[in-house]
Structure 1
Amino acid sequence: MVSKDILQVIKSLAVITLSLDFFFDVVIATSEDASKHLEMGKQLLAAGNMVEALSHFDIAVEKDPSNYLLYFRRATVYLALGKSKSALPDLDKSIQLRPGFVAALTQRGNVYLKQGNLEAAARDFEEIHQRDPSNQEAMNYLHQIEPLADEIEHAKMMFHNRDYQGAIILLSKAIDLCPWDPDLREIRAECYIAQGDLGKAVSDIRPTTKLRNDNTKGFLKLSHLLYDMGDADESLSQVKECLKLDPDHKECFPFYKKVKKLAKQLKEAQELSNGEHYDDCVKKAKKIMETEPKAFHFVHTAKSHICHCLAKGGHGNDALKACNEVLDMDPENVNAMCDKAEAHIANEDYEAAVKEYQQAMNIDQESRRAKEGIERAQKLLKNSQKRDYYKILGVKRNAKKKTIMKAYRKLAAKWHPDKHQGDDKEHAERMFRDIAAAKEVLTDPEMREKYDHGEDPLDPEQQQGGHAHPFFHGFNPFGHGGGNQGFNFKFHFN
């Protein structure tokens, strides 16, 4: 007879056996499942599909959290995606599960070195060297790290002593080995700023906004640099990034309001200029200077708009003054020279316009605007020695059709031949012909455009194969020999 105690022990052993069998079945199944996802991840990684590969490594690690190789594989994908901060915990776990794992130590040492953590990097490469003295890769890294810390300290000392170029040379060497160290980039950026090279400073500050968590300071610095370079739109974009991290940032918020206002004004001024609303363009450009009266690039842009729009608007003297201000800031500004030439044309000083365009051509022989401008100014100069239709009617070059017609009616009535007798009649007829010609050219958009570009559409010498005005073919509306000889002239104001 078997005792009750023995039966109980047998039952307990049976339960334990069943439990162990179930446990091993689960472990084997889990391990097989993890291996399946590991293989899938490796295939996707080889095909360059890193994001999908990462998702499979995530599942594999979840299925088999004690497998050091899975953590290492996932770390390599993180590194390939540029996520070194996410890779470090996986490399740590891989080394913890398998101490002395050379591949993981090498990768971690590399990450530490790129981050500028020289002590941690040296420890990993030293451990590899101790375990395998023949490992040449580890030896090379140790030889690079050993003098690097001293060179970085020396660079910092040079920076404080204002030897910016010397500091840049040493920092550049250090950044080649430690590209993820934001401190080194920030110091080099300050050196570039001191040298006035804001573009290179931007190139150093930009990556620090990602290398540091919640780097509001970096975004604000980057925004200020871009502002100083005259790029309002990009400056606005960067200060917005600062506000995403801290909507109430005490420095970013007021700067954001200023840049937003300025960027809008700059855009509106350009649109008004493009749309030929020249007087409004001038007003908007003056608003820009109220918003930002000091920053060189924005003051330069505002004054350039004023110069251009005054010249195009026919305000000759004011345009000359504004364009000279631009050229004082930027003596070789070809566009300002061309605008100044336009101002001379508005003042009917065609010789000065030719000289100004020539000066622009001397600086930029490929400038299409200067080439076309000098040809036009030369034609206008030639025409000015003949007949000036604007002067004949006494209107400005930018006069509207309504103003031209008003001037024409007044002068036509004054010089109508029927109102003059004797010696005055012949003079009146000549005046009347000129007034009629001026009205015809200046009220016809196509003819006026030709005339404004230096070509007289009523001058037969300038018309090749075209039809000249009947006045130039002997047509005399007042009869033969200047007298009316019974001619009854009917005057029409069109």
Structure 2
Amino acid sequence: MLSKDIIKVMKSLALLTLSLDFFLDVVLATSAEANKHLEMGKQMLAAGNMVEALSHFDSAVEKDPGNYLTFFRRATVYLALGKSKSALPDLDKSIELRPGFVAALTQRGNVYLKQGNLKAAANDFEEIHLNDPSNQEAMNYLHQIEPLAEEIEQAKLLYHSRDYQGAIILLSKAIDLCPWDPDLREIRAECYIAQGDLGKAVSDIRPTTKLRNDNTKGYLKLSRLLYDIGDAEESLSQVKECLKLDPDHKECFPFYKKVKKLAKQLKEAQDLSNSEQYDDCVKKANKILETENKAYHYVLTAKSHRCHCLAKGGHGKDALKACNEALDMDPENANILCDRAEAHIANEDYEAAVKEYQQAMNVDQESRRAKEGMERAQKLLKNSQKRDYYKILGVKRNANKKTIMKAYRKLAAKWHPDKHQGEDKEHAEKMFRDVAAAKEVLTDPEMREKYDHGEDPLDPEQQQGGHAHPFFHGFNPFGNGGGQGFNFKFHFN
């Protein structure tokens, strides 16, 4: 008969066997599920569906955290998504689980190199070379890293000695190999700034906002650069990113308020110009200059708005002064030249307008505005040598219908033939006809538009096909009888 102790041991062994069997079943089931996710992830990766691939590899890691391949595959997806910082921990784990794993060491060395961590990169490639001296890829990287480190140090020396172009050449070579190194991009940006090439500086600073964690300094730098090149809207967008990271940032917040105000004023000025509210546009342009009176692009924009809106508003004298100020800043600006031509037209100096449009065409031969303006100015010059309806009524070119009718009534009453006798009567009849013609054209929106564009709608020679306006066919302000012995009451409508 067995002793009680032996029976107790046998029961324990039986329970242990059952536990081991259960444990093995669980392990096998978990491993199978992990492999299933691993295979699905590989398929998604091959199909280019990175999001689904990442989801499957996440599940594989969760089910089997001891499998080096699951970490390596997930790191591959992170790298494909451009998330090198997320890939590094997985590569570290993969190498920890399988020391000397060449594929993971190569990937990690590559990431370190792109990040500019040359020492860490060299360590990984040296480990590969020690284990496999025939590995040519590792040898190629090792041959690049040492001279690269020397060139980076030389570039920094050139930058500090103000040899910016020399530094840019060496830094550009380094950035080709280390595109994720924010330090290199920031130094090259400073070189570009020193050379006055702010656009290229923006291209270097922009990626550093993502390469560094919580990079408020980078966002502020980028915002200020964009402000300086005249892109207020994008400057505002970038300084907002700074405030998302730190709402009370002592430099970002006051700069944000200034840019926000300026961007709003710039938009309002453009909207007022587009909607032909020219007087309000001029006022808004002056507000822009109060907000920013030093930065070249915004001062030029404000002065350009002032020039354009004064010219379009018919304020010829003030427009000329404003346009001259804008052209002092940008002499080869075809649009401002066209605006100055408009100012000359407002001043009724059509010869000067023709010359101005010609200058604009010399600057920009493709300018449609300059070509059309030239044709209009030439017609106005030709018409000015004939009848000028605005001069006849003594009104400005931007006069409204009420002002035109008031001038017409006054002059029609003055030159009504009933009030004149003898030799004066013939002159009065001519003046009366001219006054009536001026009123006819300037109170009809369609005819006035034609006249303002250099075409006299009452001139038979200028009408297509030689047909004159009905004004010359049957309409006689003196009635029948050719103005001799008429007897009627004239109605001022």
TM-score normalised over the length of structure 2: 0.98
Contact 1:426 1:482 in 2 (8 A): no
Q: How does 1:242-253 map to 2 (within 5 A)?
A: 242-253=242-253
1:426 Cα deviation after fit: 1.0
1:471 Cα deviation after fit: 6.2
Q: How does 1:440-451 map to 2 (within 5 A)?
A: 440-451=440-451
Identity %: 89
1:28 Cα deviation after fit: 0.9
Partner SS, residue 408 of structure 1:
helix
Could you say if the C-alpha distance between residues 409 and 477 of structure 1 is closer, same or farther in structure 2, counting changes exceeding 3 Å? closer
- Answering whether residue 49 of structure 2 is matched by residue 49 of structure 1, we say yes
Could you say if the C-alpha distance between residues 440 and 249 of structure 1 is closer, same or farther in structure 2, counting changes exceeding 3 Å? same
2:203 corresponds in structure 1 to 203
In structure 2, distance between residues paired with 1:116 and 1:303: 47
Deviation digits for residues 194-222 of structure 1 (CA, Å, limit 9, x no counterpart): 11111111110010000000000000000
Deviation digits for residues 433-484 of structure 1 (CA, Å, limit 9, x no counterpart): 0000000000000000000000100011111236424664696544788653
Please identify runs of 4+ aligned residues in structure 1 that moved more than 3 A. Answer: 469-483
1:150 corresponds in structure 2 to 150
Paired amino acid for 2:361 = M
1:181 corresponds in structure 2 to 181
2:489 corresponds in structure 1 to 490
In structure 2, distance between residues paired with 1:175 and 1:475: 81
Q: How does 1:62-211 map to 2 (within 5 A)?
A: 62-211=62-211
Could you say if the C-alpha distance between residues 461 and 27 of structure 1 is closer, same or farther in structure 2, counting changes exceeding 3 Å? same
In structure 2, distance between residues paired with 1:50 and 1:205: 28
Deviation digits for residues 15-47 of structure 1 (CA, Å, limit 9, x no counterpart): 111111111111111111100000000000111
Paired amino acid for 2:488 = F
Could you say if the C-alpha distance between residues 429 and 60 of structure 1 is closer, same or farther in structure 2, counting changes exceeding 3 Å? same
Instruction: Tell me whether 13-22 or 102-111 shows the greater mean CA deviation.
Output: 13-22
Deviation digits for residues 280-331 of structure 1 (CA, Å, limit 9, x no counterpart): 0000011011111111001111000000000000000111111111111111
Instruction: Tell me whether 456-465 or 340-349 shows the greater mean CA deviation.
Output: 456-465
2:232 corresponds in structure 1 to 232
TM-score normalised over the length of structure 1: 0.98
Deviation digits for residues 365-417 of structure 1 (CA, Å, limit 9, x no counterpart): 11100000000000000000001000000000000000000000111111111
In structure 2, distance between residues paired with 1:384 and 1:307: 24
1:36 corresponds in structure 2 to 36
2:13 corresponds in structure 1 to 13
Deviation digits for residues 88-137 of structure 1 (CA, Å, limit 9, x no counterpart): 01100110111000000000000000000000000000000000000000
- Answering whether residue 261 of structure 2 is matched by residue 258 of structure 1, we say no
Contact 2:327 2:333 in 1 (8 A): yes
1:293 corresponds in structure 2 to 293
In structure 1, distance between residues paired with 2:238 and 2:309: 31
1:318 corresponds in structure 2 to 318
Could you say if the C-alpha distance between residues 479 and 82 of structure 1 is closer, same or farther in structure 2, counting changes exceeding 3 Å? closer
Gaps of 5+ in 2: none
Q: How does 1:353-432 map to 2 (within 5 A)?
A: 353-432=353-432
Paired amino acid for 1:489 = F
Paired amino acid for 1:290 = E
In structure 2, distance between residues paired with 1:41 and 1:97: 20
Contact 2:436 2:477 in 1 (8 A): no
1:255 Cα deviation after fit: 0.6
Deviation digits for residues 26-85 of structure 1 (CA, Å, limit 9, x no counterpart): 111111110000000000011110011001001101111111111101100000010101
Gaps of 5+ in 1: none
Partner SS, residue 150 of structure 2:
helix
In structure 1, distance between residues paired with 2:484 and 2:268: 59
1:216 corresponds in structure 2 to 216
Could you say if the C-alpha distance between residues 264 and 475 of structure 1 is closer, same or farther in structure 2, counting changes exceeding 3 Å? closer
Paired amino acid for 1:199 = G
1:193 Cα deviation after fit: 0.7
Partner SS, residue 465 of structure 2:
coil
1:465 corresponds in structure 2 to 465
In structure 2, distance between residues paired with 1:477 and 1:71: 98
